Amino acid sequence: MSSMAIKPVVPKSCGQALDFTDGLVVFAIALQLFWAVDPFAIELWRRSLTRHLPTVLAIAATLLCVAGRLLFRPELRPALGQVIRTYLGLILFAAFVIGGSLYARLAHAIDHSFLLMGVSVVLGGPVNLWLIRTSRAPSVLVRSITMAVVGVSLLGVLMNTLHFGKMLYHGMEHVVLVAAALPLIAGRTLAVRVVGILLCILAAVAPNKITGYIVLLMIFTWVFIDELMIRTAMDPDRIRAGLRRILGALLGIVAILGVVLLYEAVKSHLPDGNTVYRMHTYQIAIDRFVASWLWGRGFAAPSVDHFDLFTVNTSTQLLPTHSDPLDILANGGLLAAIPFVLGLLSILYAAWKVLTKAWVSREPKQTFRRAQLAMYFLIMISGLTVMAFNPVLNSPGTSYLYWMCSALMCALVCPEEEGEQSLLAANSTTRRSSDERGTSGIA
């Protein structure tokens, strides 16, 4: 694939370094990752004094970046319109969530609201995308964040291996496993790719959670299909390429049957996923949606419920539904679900189009930039599976990180045409400002 297909909307950053404020953003994201993955099991996210520290730092770093760009680089303001168009559906969803949650807090004094779910969409998605697109070194910024994601994830895998069976990054499997698999996705040698496979398997086996195994299968499925399609696209003999794709499809079917047989053989040794708890809370959410299918409860209700079926092994009986899609349907109805689904599908489809261009071209295998795009695309897709059974969007750290990955994915997908238009607009504004200053000086 041509690297121009994922060219950022800003000048090339080769040889450039990050600004101080961009470095603060990277640090804040790394801190969010450390809190969410919690590799040393110190549970800083649970303590009142440290719970919101990464979020506060992320907001502060973001405000510094925004203030600096708007004050000293006003020609970048048009890029905000492009970001809003990219995230329009999700921004509408976030506005609904924030509005209902503020009403719940102010009118009904509800502490456990959905406010952070809505704020995380805006702060993690469109705001981060605008910061990346307007950075002086966007490629460096994206790569730095990628290294932070991979580094913290590998630390989590290492610590979970040392404490085998402990769930250190439960609810973050979509981030940790996919990041650990980056050597498999981006590697060009067999040794590197084998290391990626082993890391990915270890990341799934160490915590021993069903969602981890599902994410593992999704990663291997993507790598197999992507490798097959790229290799056959480079084959000049189209008949032979077609036969190889058919053979690959047959091997895929055999692999699926093998996975089913393996599951039947070992399912007694796998965790049950606490199905009794989940089925009870899921039924409550479904009943709420049926009772008010258009707008649900308007997000003006608590994000947790008192669980009265039995006593759970936690410090409180106030627990979330453990299914973000059902939470959205129960509390926002179709008015929340439709913009959420359409907004998410729009950015995923844009990434899919860029990634699958290599499946029909005869160009060499991906650059590291495409590998990063594939990584964030997989995080977004596998995250849908994880959030179906865990409160990903209803937790401040995991929610922010999910939408942050969407911003990185969109930054790597940015069309060349948008980049050229932004550059022309920026250069035109800069020249006009220089001419005005020059005229003033002559006068």
Q: Please report the pLDDT score of residue 266 as a whole number.
A: 84
Q: Please report the pLDDT score of residue 331 as a whole number.
A: 94
Looking at per-residue pLDDT, the higher value among 268 and 253 belongs to 253
Nearest CA-CA partner of 92 in 280, 261, 340, 304 = 340
Nearest CA-CA partner of 327 in 123, 100, 76, 23 = 100
Q: What angle do CA 149, 152, 155 make, to 5 degrees?
A: 145
Q: Is the pLDDT of residue 32 over 70?
A: yes
Looking at per-residue pLDDT, the higher value among 161 and 309 belongs to 161
Residue 27 burial (CB count, 10 A): 16
- Measured in whole angstroms, the distance separating CA 218 from the mean position of its chain's CA atoms is 15
- Going by pLDDT thresholds of 50, 70 and 90, the confidence category of residue 418 is very low
- Going by pLDDT thresholds of 50, 70 and 90, the confidence category of residue 188 is confident
- Given a contact cutoff of 8 angstroms between Cβ atoms, the answer to whether 35 and 397 are in contact is yes
Q: Is the pLDDT of residue 329 over 70?
A: yes
**Could you report the per-residue pLDDT of 98-144, keeping only the tens digit for each?**
999 999 999 888 888 899 999 999 999 999 999 999 988 899 999 99
Of 226-235, 311-320, 413-422, which range is least confident? Answer: 413-422
Give the burial string for 170-182 (b: 16+ CB within 10 Å, else e). bbbbbbbbbbbbb
Q: Please report the pLDDT score of residue 427 as a whole number.
A: 53
| Helix or strand holding residue 249 (H, E) | helix 238-266
- Given a contact cutoff of 8 angstroms between Cβ atoms, the answer to whether 79 and 9 are in contact is yes
Q: Please report the pLDDT score of residue 9 as a whole number.
A: 41
Distance between CA atoms of residues 94 and 404, nearest Å:
15
Distance between CA atoms of residues 273 and 58, nearest Å:
33
Kindly report the length of the chain.
Answer: 443
Distance between CA atoms of residues 289 and 295, nearest Å:
8
Q: Which of 57-61, 108-112, 192-196, 308-312 has the highest mean pLDDT?
A: 192-196
Q: What is the largest CA-CA distance in the chain?
A: 86
Distance between CA atoms of residues 428 and 129, nearest Å:
23
Q: Which of 161-170, 272-281, 311-320, 405-414 has the highest mean pLDDT?
A: 405-414
- Going by pLDDT thresholds of 50, 70 and 90, the confidence category of residue 396 is confident
- Given a contact cutoff of 8 angstroms between Cβ atoms, the answer to whether 18 and 139 are in contact is no
Q: Is the pLDDT of residue 315 over 70?
A: no
- Given a contact cutoff of 8 angstroms between Cβ atoms, the answer to whether 110 and 302 are in contact is yes
Distance between CA atoms of residues 218 and 382, nearest Å:
7
The mean pLDDT of 28-55, rounded to a whole number, is: 85
Q: Is the pLDDT of residue 323 over 50?
A: yes
Q: Hey, what are 440's tokens?
A: 């003033």
Q: Please report the pLDDT score of residue 4 as a whole number.
A: 37
Q: How does the average pLDDT of the chain come out, rounded?
A: 85
Q: Is the pLDDT of residue 433 over 60?
A: no
Distance between CA atoms of residues 184 and 371, nearest Å:
10
Q: Hey, what are 175's tokens?
A: 């981030």
Nearest CA-CA partner of 101 in 93, 84, 59, 317 = 93
Q: Identity (one letter) of the amino acid at 18?
A: L
Q: Is the pLDDT of residue 416 over 70?
A: no
Q: Looking up tokens 């270890």, which residue turns up?
A: 202
For the entire predicted model, the pTM comes to 0.87
SS3 content of the chain, % helix, strand, coil (to 5): 75, 0, 25
- Measured in whole angstroms, the distance separating CA 257 from the mean position of its chain's CA atoms is 30
Q: Please report the pLDDT score of residue 130 as a whole number.
A: 92
Q: Which of 95-99, 108-112, 205-209 has the highest mean pLDDT?
A: 95-99
Looking at per-residue pLDDT, the higher value among 274 and 162 belongs to 162
Q: Please report the pLDDT score of residue 403 as a whole number.
A: 96
Q: Hey, what are 192's tokens?
A: 């590197």
Q: Please report the pLDDT score of residue 431 as a whole number.
A: 53
Q: Please report the pLDDT score of residue 10 as a whole number.
A: 41
Q: Is the pLDDT of residue 278 over 90?
A: no
